Structure 1
Amino acid sequence: MNRRILALFVFTPLAPAWAQQPPTLPDVVVTATRVPTPAERIPAATTVIDRRDMEERGYVTLADALAAVPGFRLVQAGGPGQQASGFLRGTNSRHVLVLRDGVPLNDSAEPNGAFNFGNELLGDVERIEVVRGPVSAVYGTAAIGGVVNLITRRAPADRAFAPYGEIAGGTQRTLRGYAGAGGTLGAFDYGITGQSLSTEGFNSVAPRFSSNRGERDGLRAAAVTARAGVTLGETTPDAILGATRIDGLVRWRENTFGLDSVPQDDPNYTGQDRNWFGYLRSQTALFGGAWTTGLRLSGSEDRRRYVNLPDPGNRFGTADDLYVGDRVGLAWDNTLRLPAGGFVTDASLTFGGGWDRESATSAAGSPFFRITTDARAENTYGYLGAQARLFERLDVTAALRLDDAEDYGTEPTWRLGAVLALPEISSRIRAAGGTAFKAPSLYQRFGQIGTFFRGNPDLEAERSTSWEVGWETDIAGRFATVSALYFDSRIRDLINFDPTFSTLVNVDRARIRGGEFGLTLRPADWLDITGAWTVTEARDTTTDTPLARRPRNVASLSARIAPEVGWFDVPRSRLIIAPEVIYVGQSPEGAFARYQDNGRSIPVAGKNPEGVLFNLTASLPLTAQVTSFVEVRNIGNTRYEPANGFVVPGRSAILGLRGTF
């Protein structure tokens, strides 16, 4: 397997010597280094999903948007709103850090400190940036596999009032929509978005179980996001003190959804997930804009409640579980742009530090198996980063960070990377390496289960060392882009139960390696075709067994077909047809997580079957401001199990209108 990956890595990017000039620079990415940088010059594998992608491909939830990202494996235990775990480059779901506008979102009360990718609607999101690989040297804990950054819609600078909205409905009694507006009035700007989704959903229990009753698991979701800002003064080349930007954001979200006690349907099992999030920040330009310094105060609260009343299939079990997690942070961030000199251009330094505090309170389970947590912890950190372009073809980056926690110790992390441009053959070589860590969660340190389990306050952080190298080539100008990348990661001090299951210890190690391969074809201005294939080998090196729910092969194929059509008062509009196919290979399943057809769990590891999803979205402008669209998801109505016992949602169809005014 390893030789095959390396062979593909070596031979895939080879291109003819007649390759023409490289295409126009792609999107600017902020997440990877904190400094806005063209994606071609970042020594990290990145994926950007912008507003156009979300609309043209029918992405409604964050889980929808990430399903086809190379190296990202999404496992949702049910339909929208239910738990969706993200495995980035084969790491655990708790090893992915999720941000909104650069502020951490991971739930402090979740037992592993992981993020639920099934909760978030995208009506208020302008773009999603996914950075694969270790990023703890930039953002701290949890960024072993990578970072997902949700960037909120910005106010247009040239309009005082710019409304937008969408309304759609379809099968499974689905009704969804969002409405919002933004604008700029002199020095003041604002934006507000409200969104909702209601659906009857599907039955998420595998039909092979004799206990399956066909009960659907619906979702009611709503969110409101408001942001405002003001810019005071202006920045001139000779001014020591320039403009100051002050802005803030407040967001509320609440989801109510049905759950099941797999392998059984459970009509009285419901969940509610509520989140408050906000920040207030300032940025001031100094020395003609060469130095930008700012402060940010942020806070969030996650409140999750699960209620399960007795019913014919569960006569005696009663659950009323509550999880509350809070996070408060204060950050000081700086960017210093250095003057060009000799062979060095585009040089900059980032530096700063901060403090954060998280707390968790939870009570779950039956009286005889009560799971409780009541704990809090603080952390302070400082970081330093640098990047520059050398000889107009070599981009280098470096980052160093030190986290000092009050209980699990001090964690230094680093990252180095470089991108070498080879314009003579329209190619780029990327290489990067670094370390990362995941702090033990509050539950892992201080949780209790009845009288027989106690968390371990002496746990250390989980740590990783990773490296990657890749090649990207443009063929015949913009006709095609082909890429290949090899990654390798070693994770140590993984947290697991001790032999008596009475506490947790740093006992496991893992080795993860694989390849990411991509091909984009642009044969015409109305046609783009993109294919991606990720091969992953993830193993627990302590037991020499594969890591659960990490398939060896995941692939996707998508296209954007945009022929010109004449339609009403939009004579040169384009009909957008966006098919998407996602293939997920067989994945191992852990012991005791497997269920037989009779619903009994068995202590034998096995495999979840492979599966294919085919989605199709088509959009047609009706006027210059209004676009109609149709979305059909899972056209083949496949019901494979990404996790043993849970099937993917079946076929659905949506019709809607979208407008910007």
Structure 2
Amino acid sequence: MRYSSVLALVAALPALALPSQLLAAETLSDANAVDQVVVTAGRAADKLSETPVSMTVITGETLRQRQAVVVSDLLSRTPGVTVTRNGGVGGSTQVRIRGAESDQTAVLIDGVKLNDPSSTGGGYNFANLLAGDVSRIELLRGPQSTLWGSQAIGGVVSMITKTPDSALSGDAAIEGGSRATAYARFGAGAGGAWGGWRLAASQYTTAGISNFAESRGGKEKDGYRNTAVSGRLDLNVTDAVALDGRVSYTAGRNEFDGFPAPFYAFADTPEYGKIRELVSYLGARLSSFDGALASRVGYSYTQTDRDNYDPTLSAPKTFDSRGTDNSLEYQGAWTINPVWRAVFGAETERTWFRTASPSFSPQVDRHATGMDSVYGQLQAKPAPGLTLTGGVRRDEHDTFGGSTTYQAGAAWSLNEGATVLRANYGEGFKAPSLYQLYSDYGNTTLKPEEAKSWDLGVEHALLEGRLRGSVTYFSRDTKNQIDFVSNNTPPNFGGYANTAKTKADGVEVEASYEVNTIVTVSTNYTNMDATNRSAGANFGKDLARRAGETANADLAIDLPAGLSGGVSMQYVGHSFDNASNTRRLKSYVLTDVRIAYPINETFEVYGRVENLLDQQYETLYRYGTLGRGAFAGVRARF
């Protein structure tokens, strides 16, 4: 592991002794904040103190307090997470958890898995994911495939949208600022004993920055716009039967730079892309045996359409793709008695993709595959404060065959909840993508990528919960990672194979302190080694674009008169842009400030300055990053 002056960043705010399992400042004032209810870790409602896995909860109040617009920016300030982006907002965005690949992160919205079957690795691109109608984010670190299936090697990002539970109400916001940026959102809904409904919409636009870094010669700005609409309906048919449906649609257009002739070097170009993402779900919830068995049957459908254009070509469309995912699932949660609970389920998933490059070839690739899965997890509470879990999952894939994953963990709450000890062992896998299986470079003999991981953690609270802290150690080994292997055989001169191995281990430290009713301080620090363990010239070298050290610190102020504000600082240590570690990306520190003031019970004005010190940095070699930006807006609740 590596240590540096990053500790000075944490010390820049009042020194703290212990960390918090939570990011949100408003939860820190609650002495029982560690016992808030989470749903992602066990696919059922659990107290956080009974959860063996390492996780961070970002509440709706935190989203409001931080004035969040881009979800990936908020995730980058949580322990163990690194984010890289091809240029400004709207550029291809990769989220890596504990050093895993970006396509080894399972992403969910209201329980529906998001991915793009037509992309090279089949993962999810966070570029178009804005906070919008999200009310809560639960982030699980470490392999979670026993419950969440393929891709959950690094962890799980689960987003939960707003659910109305009272009479007609709504919220809205509009803001503008640097780089001709404008953002507006609106949502309204109603709920009651019968169920609830909600509709929401948002629009984001910005002139952006040059995708090709200005410091390296980029001059043409690459803009971005995003339009999103969503809706949900919940109906309580009887006391034992409920129906729910959800749909969301996002359309984005981003401009980017490429590699024009005759030099084919990265430079300004007028290229742009369009992406449309549809997520839909229809389900039924059943309660049986006086509520002891809660069942859910659901069908989900997602579709991603991507088109790229180069106006300088006679046939401007350079890429055309569509990926779809159809999933049918059953899940049951059976409370056997106060000591035992079982969560179990079955899923069947069918994915399909089509890709073409009209400017270069008339060929259109179409392929589909399927996977059937069963899983089960048993939870026991054999003694006061002690929670044990164990689970197993079996997946059968049309092409590579079967894969079995296991999980076991324990959480022990002591001293009336002031201390929580955690230990967890988890396994993860990722099925080969359709592109890796069936493209011109594909290989139908590929095996799934596999990971085994364990972590140990301790959390402690002092001063009636005002001071909280946690330390977690983790280690993960991944094998059979799919990599492109070059050879001298035409026409493709290579293809995909299970040749890569990686290892990641490190320590995550979190701290929070509610100094008084006005000031709250929170920090986190991650020290991680993520290395290549594949035989060859790059053995032992750092994995590309994974910073060995990251740290975050936040000072939140909430005055009695309603005025609130804060300062956030983010440190990202150096990393390497390539596997051979010959291109080094320098470390950097970003500083943001924010302020908000409620005019009355309905309206609040707010503003922030991002990258206050105008830090120049790169997350990807030669790609631009956002400089100083000022934004102001007004939001309302009614």
Q: Same fold, TM exceeding 0.5?
A: yes
Are positions 1:357 and 2:350 aligned together?
yes
Query: CA shift at 1:27, angstroms?
Result: 2.7
Q: Say if 1:473 and 1:481, in contact at 8 Å, map to a contact too.
A: yes
Q: Deviations over 1:361-389 (max 9, x none)?
A: 11238627x99642110111001012132
Look up the SS of the partner of 1:208 in the other structure: helix
Q: Say if 1:22 and 1:477, in contact at 8 Å, map to a contact too.
A: yes
Which one of 559, 563, 581 corresponds to residue 559 of structure 2?
A: 563
Are positions 1:466 and 2:475 aligned together?
no
Query: CA shift at 1:492, angstroms?
Result: 0.4
For 1:493 and 1:294, the matched residues in 2 are separated by: 34
Are positions 1:259 and 2:256 aligned together?
yes
Are positions 1:589 and 2:577 aligned together?
yes
Q: Deviations over 1:560-597 (max 9, x none)?
A: 210111xxxxxxxx212132111111001215xxxxxx
Query: CA shift at 1:26, angstroms?
Result: 4.2
**Paired amino acid for 1:470:** G
Q: Say if 1:374 and 1:447, in contact at 8 Å, map to a contact too.
A: no
Look up the SS of the partner of 1:118 in the other structure: helix
Partner residue of 2:53?
A: 44
For 2:137 and 2:36, the matched residues in 1 are separated by: 12
Q: Deviations over 1:402-431 (max 9, x none)?
A: 111111110111111111122179321111
Query: CA shift at 1:280, angstroms?
Result: 0.3
Look up the SS of the partner of 1:445 in the other structure: helix
Look up the SS of the partner of 2:296 in the other structure: strand
For 1:406 and 1:59, the matched residues in 2 are separated by: 41
Partner residue of 2:409?
A: 417
Partner residue of 2:27?
A: none
Partner residue of 2:225?
A: 220
Are positions 1:550 and 2:553 aligned together?
no
For 2:314 and 2:136, the matched residues in 1 are separated by: 47
For 2:126 and 2:567, the matched residues in 1 are separated by: 23
Partner residue of 2:243?
A: 246
Q: Deviations over 1:98-142 (max 9, x none)?
A: 011111101111100121112112121111110001100001000
Which one of 64, 72, 82 corresponds to residue 81 of structure 2?
A: 72
For 1:472 and 1:188, the matched residues in 2 are separated by: 38
Are positions 1:496 and 2:483 aligned together?
yes
Partner residue of 1:184?
A: 191
Runs of 5+ unmatched residues, structure 2: 5-15, 21-29, 260-264, 488-492
Change in 2 beyond 3 A, CA 1:550/1:122 = same
Q: TM-score, normalised by structure 2?
A: 0.91
Partner residue of 2:472?
A: 485
Are positions 1:623 and 2:600 aligned together?
yes
Q: Say if 2:611 and 2:629, in contact at 8 Å, map to a contact too.
A: yes
Which one of 267, 270, 273 corresponds to residue 272 of structure 2?
A: 270
Pairing 1:45-124 to 2, within 5 Å after superposition: 45-124=54-133
Partner residue of 1:393?
A: 385
Partner residue of 2:154?
A: 145
Q: Deviations over 1:293-318 (max 9, x none)?
A: 121011010001111122xxxx8996
For 2:581 and 2:480, the matched residues in 1 are separated by: 25
Runs of 5+ unmatched residues, structure 1: 5-10, 16-20, 235-242, 449-453, 566-573, 592-602
Query: CA shift at 1:360, angstroms?
Result: 1.0
For 2:41 and 2:192, the matched residues in 1 are separated by: 32
For 1:335 and 1:218, the matched residues in 2 are separated by: 47
**Paired amino acid for 2:229:** V
Look up the SS of the partner of 2:128 in the other structure: coil
Look up the SS of the partner of 1:653 in the other structure: strand
Partner residue of 1:195?
A: 202
Partner residue of 1:205?
A: 212
**Paired amino acid for 1:475:** L
Which one of 327, 330, 355 corresponds to residue 329 of structure 1?
A: 327
**Paired amino acid for 1:187:** W
For 2:169 and 2:417, the matched residues in 1 are separated by: 44
Change in 2 beyond 3 A, CA 1:503/1:637 = same
Query: CA shift at 1:2, angstroms?
Result: 8.2
Q: Say if 2:307 and 2:317, in contact at 8 Å, map to a contact too.
A: no
Partner residue of 2:23?
A: none
Query: CA shift at 1:505, angstroms?
Result: 0.8
Q: Say if 1:22 and 1:426, in contact at 8 Å, map to a contact too.
A: no
Pairing 1:635-646 to 2, within 5 Å after superposition: 635-646=612-623
For 1:463 and 1:372, the matched residues in 2 are separated by: 31
Q: Deviations over 1:30-56 (max 9, x none)?
A: 011111112222111111112111121
**Paired amino acid for 1:53:** T
Partner residue of 2:24?
A: none
Are positions 1:654 and 2:631 aligned together?
yes
Q: Say if 2:575 and 2:585, in contact at 8 Å, map to a contact too.
A: yes
Change in 2 beyond 3 A, CA 1:41/1:261 = same
Q: Deviations over 1:306-344 (max 9, x none)?
A: 11122xxxx89965211210000000111111222xxx3
Partner residue of 2:262?
A: none
For 1:187 and 1:29, the matched residues in 2 are separated by: 24
Look up the SS of the partner of 2:116 in the other structure: coil
For 1:268 and 1:406, the matched residues in 2 are separated by: 41
**Paired amino acid for 1:580:** S
Change in 2 beyond 3 A, CA 1:48/1:358 = same
Look up the SS of the partner of 1:79 in the other structure: coil
**Paired amino acid for 1:481:** R
Which one of 436, 442, 445 corresponds to residue 455 of structure 1?
A: 442
For 1:479 and 1:280, the matched residues in 2 are separated by: 42
Partner residue of 1:376?
A: 368
Are positions 1:438 and 2:436 aligned together?
no
**Paired amino acid for 2:160:** I
Look up the SS of the partner of 2:63 in the other structure: helix
For 2:471 and 2:175, the matched residues in 1 are separated by: 39
Change in 2 beyond 3 A, CA 1:14/1:55 = closer
Pairing 1:491-530 to 2, within 5 Å after superposition: 491-500=478-487, 501-530=493-522
For 2:3 and 2:201, the matched residues in 1 are separated by: 51
Partner residue of 1:165?
A: 172
Q: Say if 2:224 and 2:255, in contact at 8 Å, map to a contact too.
A: yes
**Paired amino acid for 1:101:** D
Query: CA shift at 1:606, angstroms?
Result: 2.1
Look up the SS of the partner of 1:469 in the other structure: strand
Report the aligned-residue RMSD.
2.3
**Paired amino acid for 1:619:** A
For 1:186 and 1:608, the matched residues in 2 are separated by: 55
Look up the SS of the partner of 1:108 in the other structure: coil
Q: Deviations over 1:227-273 (max 9, x none)?
A: 11210122xxxxxxxx2110101111100111112764434111111
Partner residue of 1:28?
A: 37
For 2:422 and 2:372, the matched residues in 1 are separated by: 32
**Greater shift in the superposed pair: 390-399 or 370-379:** 370-379
Query: CA shift at 1:203, angstroms?
Result: 2.0
Change in 2 beyond 3 A, CA 1:14/1:61 = closer
For 1:372 and 1:514, the matched residues in 2 are separated by: 44
Which one of 107, 132, 138 corresponds to residue 129 of structure 1?
A: 138
Look up the SS of the partner of 2:554 in the other structure: strand
Change in 2 beyond 3 A, CA 1:371/1:612 = farther
How many percent identity over aligned positions?
Answer: 27
